[in-house]
Structure 1
Amino acid sequence: MDWTRGHIIGHGASAAVSIAISRLSGDVFAVKSAELSRSESLQREQRILSCLDSPHIIGYRGFDISVENSRAVFNLMIEHAPDGSLSDAIRRGGGGLPEAAIRGYTQGIAKGLDYLHSRGIVHCDIKGSNVLLVGGAAKIADFGCAKAAGESAIGGTPLFMAPEVARGEEQGFAADVWALGCTVIEMASGRSPWPNAAETLCRIAYSGEAPEFPASLSEMGKDFLSKCLRVDPRKRWTAEELLRHPFLGDIQHEKLTGDSDSPTSILDRGIWSSVEEPSHDSIEMNFEDFFELCKNSRIDKWDWTERWMTIRDGENVDFGSESRFRCEEQGFLLS
């Protein structure tokens, strides 16, 4: 594709996202770029996206390798999302979205998950900042942690992790459903699904608890959450079953952003978890680093509505017994 790179709209340690325009058609799209030598995650995302075709998944536009400043750069072209991310919409909502909007966005995410799961793909990092809005429709984006079902690698964002993932046991389709439930809480409350960051990972893994349901949700909405946030992954509803829940039924498909001056950025400070502005609202670390941070920092004072942590796969960390040992070492009480 013959294209021109525009201004950068998000960046991180090894990747950047730019607005771009086709010289032939004039179409605007987004380009995610990383140095070729550091683009393994981006290339994996390209391979996954190139096989997907759903209105509920961010669109794939191609890829190429360019030479810029004497360096080879891998470029992934994707659909432009002028309404920003779901996290953008949540912040514009000033502390939570109306239930009608929550239902509409949740339906779109559930349809996207149903499509992915039918193709044997686990997203592994569903959350508000990884859902983009195009004309009010929710589209799943950021496949940097995605994998084929059955692969042993574990990744994602701790505050949205299912208990079995936090214990390092498995990360299958049911883990995406748990994260969907956490995202509904994020939409309804305007904040992260868990309140106390310092002990959250251990609490998720071993307490047998689910996040608190927002009081603002209707009884139907709370019932929907109860199907997503079952601690035993075998008892969680599938995405296909959730689409038949009355919470997602009879939804009017109007534009849900409700904001005529919504941002033109394609992402919420980054379409994927490692692409960020210098404010470091999002960081990457493995579980060893996470527990050291818990021990040495007043992490409980952070604004966890925005400061997500993403753990990419391939870290080769034992999440099970080590997690419990560190929890007990820090004095956390686990049931």
Structure 2
Amino acid sequence: MNWTRGKIVGRGSTATVSAATCQESGETIAVKSAEFHRSEFLQREAEILSSLNSPHVIGYRGCAITKEPSSNNDGEATTYNLLMEYAPYGTLADVASKNGGFLEEARVVKYTRQLLLGLEYIHNSMGIAHCDVKGSNVLIGENGEAKIADFGCAKRVEPERTEPVRGTPAFMAPEVARGERQGRESDIWAVGCTVIEMVTGSTPWSGAGWNDPVSVLYRVGYLGESPELPCSLTEQAKDFLGKCLKKEAKERWTASQLLNHPFLITKPEMMVTSLVTNSPTSVTDQMFWRSVEESEDRPSWWECHEDERIGVLSCSGQFVVDSTWDMDGADWITVR
């Protein structure tokens, strides 16, 4: 595919995301780029994304290796590019913020159903766990549909294969917080946290004043605590979240079971005709690990922070602390 790079819409420590135009069709696409020697996670994401084909997963458009100005401005560098479907309405977190900081229940039901359809596909048909489900990793497509994105932490579920756990602290399941295992069941816990995020307009635990990710991981992994449920939820919604937030991974409902929960099947499908009035203008997110005053802008759009995510958590009960950890998993500068 021949394409022309446009404006940068997001920048992380190892990758950038740009809007681009396909020369043959005129289609707008998103291009996630990293210098080749720092593109391990991006290549891994491309390998997984290229194997997926679902209306509830962001579309793969190809990959390319180009020569780009180096980050040190000392000549050209080889760049690895992942080409993807362009989602014009930003992330689920953006949409919640632009609707007064929360989403009404009918819209929560719509997006939750679509998120679970995407997870059902990657869990059951493809044997993949996403490992970083959250509002800022769910994009809103051209027709207002939710699509799972950012497979930089994803892995194929193989019982005999062990890998370091990765993801975002505020959305981590107990077994992940303890560094034991990470799989499909962990994604379901994160779905529950994402529903809380949609309802409240903020990440789980943020309202409790626990800004230290290590403290949150300890509370989840060793004290057996769960995120507080918003009091505004209906009984059906609370029951649904209870099925997601079971402390024992094997007791959590699967994506297929949750799709048949009354919370999701008793509401009519909601047509979204207008999500936002303008394209997102900021890729800044509140960072809990750092003492930064909360921004007016919600976390936005594409995220490409592979190595800022959680690294290894030791299995001996002690956390490996990295200075780049943050509660939301974002590490962006603003691009206007």
Report the TM range for the smaller structure's normalisation: 0.7 to 0.9
1:8 paired residue number: 8
1:181 paired residue number: 192
Mark the CA change 1:31 to 1:111 in structure 2 (over 3 Å): closer, same or farther.
same
Q: Which of 63, 74, 78 is matched with 2:80 structurally?
A: 74
Mark the CA change 1:29 to 1:78 in structure 2 (over 3 Å): closer, same or farther.
same
1:197 paired residue number: 211
Say whether the 8 Å CA contact 1:145–1:312 is kept in structure 2.
no
Mark the CA change 1:311 to 1:264 in structure 2 (over 3 Å): closer, same or farther.
closer
Say whether the 8 Å CA contact 2:178–2:313 is kept in structure 1.
no
SS in 2 for 1:323: coil
2:251 paired residue number: 235
Mark the CA change 1:257 to 1:122 in structure 2 (over 3 Å): closer, same or farther.
farther
Q: Distance in 2 between matches of 1:99 and 1:320?
A: 41
Mark the CA change 1:257 to 1:234 in structure 2 (over 3 Å): closer, same or farther.
farther
Superposed displacement of residue 152, structure 1: 2.4
- 1:271-324 deviation per Cα after TM superposition (whole angstroms, max 9, x unaligned): xxxxxx5xx6459xxxxxxxxx6xxx768x868x85999876894441542139
Give the percent of matched residue pairs that are identical in Structure 1 and Structure 2.
Answer: 46
Say whether the 8 Å CA contact 1:156–1:311 is kept in structure 2.
no
Say whether the 8 Å CA contact 1:137–1:255 is kept in structure 2.
no
1:323 paired residue number: 319
Post-superposition, which runs of at least 4 consecutive aligned residues in structure 1 deviate over 6 A? 307-314
What are the residue-to-residue correspondences of 1:87-106 with 2, within 5 Å? 87-106=93-112
SS in 1 for 2:82: strand
1:274 paired residue number: none
What are the residue-to-residue correspondences of 1:99-248 with 2, within 5 Å? 99-118=105-124, 119-134=126-141, 135-150=143-158, 151-194=162-205, 195=208, 196-198=210-212, 199-248=215-264
Say whether the 8 Å CA contact 2:60–2:84 is kept in structure 1.
yes
SS in 2 for 1:20: strand
- 1:120-157 deviation per Cα after TM superposition (whole angstroms, max 9, x unaligned): 10100000000000121110000010011134221000
- 1:169-206 deviation per Cα after TM superposition (whole angstroms, max 9, x unaligned): 11011000000000000011111211212321210111
Superposed displacement of residue 229, structure 1: 0.3
- 1:45-94 deviation per Cα after TM superposition (whole angstroms, max 9, x unaligned): 00000000000000000111011232111111100100110011011121
Q: Distance in 1 between matches of 2:82 and 2:307?
A: 21
Q: Distance in 2 between matches of 1:324 and 1:52?
A: 33
Q: Distance in 2 between matches of 1:314 and 1:90?
A: 25
What amino acid does structure 1 have at the position aligned with 2:248?
D
Say whether the 8 Å CA contact 2:41–2:306 is kept in structure 1.
no
Mark the CA change 1:302 to 1:81 in structure 2 (over 3 Å): closer, same or farther.
closer
Q: Distance in 1 between matches of 2:123 and 2:174?
A: 20
SS in 1 for 2:193: helix
SS in 2 for 1:321: coil
What amino acid does structure 1 have at the position aligned with 2:77?
R
1:61 paired residue number: 61
| Comparing 245-254 and 84-93, the one that deviates more | 245-254
Provide the TM-score with structure 1 as the length reference: 0.83
